[in-house]
Amino acid sequence: MDTRRAFLAKPRSPIFGRARQDSDIPGLADMAKVVAVKQATAAQLWLVDGKQNLVRNNPARREAGVATLRAAGLADIEDPTTLYSNRFIDAVLKA
């Protein structure tokens, strides 16, 4: 099992339980709800482009985001590839 799938397969309750123990984080009181929301987030956002693309930047989505920022007058990023790269995840996956 590759690292990305292993991360997704891990139970989330211990992670949030530890966070609740160490910090006063609002919203961690209802652990079942927190876990359900995070699982839905993973399925709908993290995995929208498939498990093979978890933690990878999607060039089409990146370009759409930059275009939205430009259209809104919030930022004019000349070369978005300087901000978002898959080179680090590619290096880790090859190791």
Hey, where are the domains in the chain?
1-50, 56-95
Q: Which residues contact 28 (CB under 8 A, 6 or more apart)?
A: 16, 19, 20, 34
pLDDT value of residue 1 = 47
Indicate if the pLDDT at residue 83 is higher than 90: no
- Global pTM value: 0.49
Indicate if the pLDDT at residue 87 is higher than 80: yes
- Please say whether the beta carbons of 56 and 89 come within 8 A: yes
Say how many C-beta atoms besides its own lie within 10 A of residue 22's C-beta: 8
List pLDDT tens digits, range 6-30: 566 666 777 777 777 777 777 777 7
Distance between CA atoms of 70 and 29, rounded to whole angstroms? 40
